[in-house]
Amino acid sequence: MPRPDRYHHGDLHDTLLREAGVLLREQGVEGLSLRRLAERAGVSRTAPYHHFADKNALLCALAERGFQRLEGLIEELSLDPADPEPGLRRFVRAYLRFASDDPERYELMFGRTLWKAGRPGPALTRVAHGCFRRYVEAVRLDRLAAAPGGADPLRVAQASWATLHGLCRLLLDGIYLRREDMEAVSDQAVALMLAGLGRA
């Protein structure tokens, strides 16, 4: 849509998000400066400020998009109470693939940049928490059948998500985990989570 020689860009908001996504993927958050982004969009330094309050807001929007995709993954997660392993294994692999397909996006979604150093907007907070709520329900086997005296579903969800998340972080930051080990470790994680799923 954007004509090369028009004063108004016409589609700057979406263009910014798209190009920011590319920049993020290729260079990480460190390489994503508003100035470079503006240049890439063929627009002056301060133009983005009419579409995003500041850099924090733009990063929030990027993270939001990530959570929306992640939500899709979680929606597909469903466990057979009689034999939860295949479903869980499928989800774990999908989650790891999601994280390693666009590591910088994953980092942005869960990292301190937004949640600690920055200010996560209400929209981001909502979708992020929504994801987790869906997950809690998905791994809540006791409601469907089986073990009535199981552990607190919230705790199970938190601990298992932590395992998943820790796996991703160790892998993506390149410490203690290498890509080749991923499959074996993820199987080990599935075993871990399964053990925690039934009962504490």
Partner DNA sequence: GTGCTATTTTGACGCCGTCAAGATTGAAGC
Partner DNA sequence: GCTTCAATCTTGACGGCGTCAAAATAGCAC
- Binding residues (CB under 8 A) for a copy of itself: these are 28, 30, 107, 110-112, 115-117, 128, 132, 151-152, 154-156, 158-170, 172-177, 181, 184-185, 187-189, 191-193, 195-196, 200
∠ Cα 51 129 193 (to 5°): 135
Residue with smaller CB distance to a copy of itself, 13 or 115: 115
Q: What is the 3-state secondary structure (H, E, C) of 110-136?
A: HCHHHHHHCCCCHHHHHHHHHHHHHHH
Least gap, CB of 169 to DNA (angstroms) = 24
**Gyration radius of the chain over CA positions:** 20
- CB–CB of 73/91 below 8 Å? yes
Binding flags for DNA, 42-71, as an x/- string (CB under 7 A):
-xxxxx-xxx--xxx---------------
> Nearest Cα to 79, choosing from 68, 67, 90, 93?
90
Distance CA 66, CA 68 (A): 5
* Residue 54 interacting partner from DNA, a copy of itself, none (CB closer than 5 to 8 Å by kind): DNA
Residue with smaller CB distance to DNA, 46 or 188: 46
Chain contacts with DNA (rule: CB under 7 A): 6-10, 12, 32-36, 38, 43-47, 49-51, 54-56
